[in-house]
Amino acid sequence: MARREIVSNASEDLILVDELDREIGSRPKAECHVGKGILHRAFSIFVLNSRNELLLQKRAPGKQLWPSYWSNTCCSHPRRGETMEQAVSRRLEQELGFSCPLHYLYKFKYHAQFGEVGAEHEYCWVYYGRHDGKVDANVNEIADLRFVDITSLETELEDEPERFTPWFMMEWAHIRDNFLDLLAPRVSIGRQGKL
């Protein structure tokens, strides 16, 4: 039976940050994502299996921003008073029904506009982990899941970038260019991004 746990809402407070990722206050989630967005703290998680396949999720159709787009394994926001390590573990369990050790990679600031609907304006911390067990998607957050090998992912991103969230494409490009040997040993990509 599909899990339908409600794990977030528009009124929950997000952590506002400055250009150096220093906490400067909080605002409701809905306010942080309207118009051009308000800079707030977030995280993204990339989980691979032992075959170096990346777990992708298709965002639920009810999402305000980028509904039904493919994205990385999990992404969300830490809560006030919560460490980032607590936040990433909590959300992975809430969305996908499993836990695994998660390791910090890097953080970056980005802005992505979703037409007139709103925007993501985030200081995003990026983590990775490995998992070969069961995955139990929360259908309030996720419409579909799949593991994809790196070669196929590169082809899809080149051929159909409009199917993917902007933050995932930015993060994957940085991971591919700087951390691929850490995340996917034995996989090599040529100078033009080709495998």
Kindly name the residue from 75, 95, 120, 141 that is annotated as catalytic. Answer: 75
User: Pick the catalytic residue: 95, 122, 141, 171?
Assistant: 122
Q: Is 75 a catalytic residue?
A: yes
The C-alpha atoms of residue 187 and residue 103 are separated, in whole angstroms, by 20
In the chain, the DSSP E strands lie at 13-17, 23-28, 40-48, 53-59, 70-71, 74-76, 102-114, 118-130, 142-149
Handedness of CA 154, 160, 165, 166 (dihedral sign): positive
- Strands 142-149 and 53-59, how do they pair? antiparallel
> Which is it for strands 102-114 and 118-130: parallel, antiparallel or unpaired?
antiparallel
Write out the two tokens for 24. Answer: 């400067």
Q: What 8-state DSSP symbol labels residue 60? A: P
CB atoms within 10 A of CB 88: 26
Q: Catalytic: 74?
A: no
- Mind telling me the catalytic residues? 75, 122
